[in-house]
Amino acid sequence: MDSDVEKLVWERASQVYADSLSLILSEALVGYKRTSGFDDLTRLYEATLGGETLISLRRALKLRWPASDVGDTEPYVELRSRLRSYLTHYLMRKLVFEHEDTRALRDAFFAGDLGI
C-alpha cells in the first residue's frame, strides 16, 4: 500500500474514532489469523500514526499479545508486514463501509479491490 494512503487511513481513523480507536484495533487483532511463512518486520512511526494513535495501537497489541514487547519508549511500533497491511486495510474498509471515508480513501479502497 502506498505510504501516503496508509498515512491518510491512520489520520482519518484517529479523527473519526478518537477514544474508541484502541477498542477497534483490539477487535481487528482478534480477527487476525497469521498465515505460515516469514514476512519482514516493519516500523510504523509516530509521524505516520500520530502520538495518540501510536498509544492506541500499543495498547491494542499489548491486550492481544501480553508477552510482546511493543517498544513503549520508541517513536515507532514494529509489526510484521502482513499484520501492518491487515490493520490498515481493516481500518480503511471500516471507514468506507461506515461512510466516514474521504474521496482519496474511497478511491484507494476500490482500486485495491479491483487490483489496480
> Tens digit of pLDDT for each residue in 68-96?
878 788 899 999 999 999 999 999 999 99
pLDDT greater than 70 at residue 116:
no
Tens digit of pLDDT for each residue in 54-72?
Answer: 999 999 999 998 888 787 8
State the pLDDT at residue 54: 93
End-to-end Cα distance, the chain: 11
94-115 pLDDT tens trace: 999 999 888 888 888 877 665 5
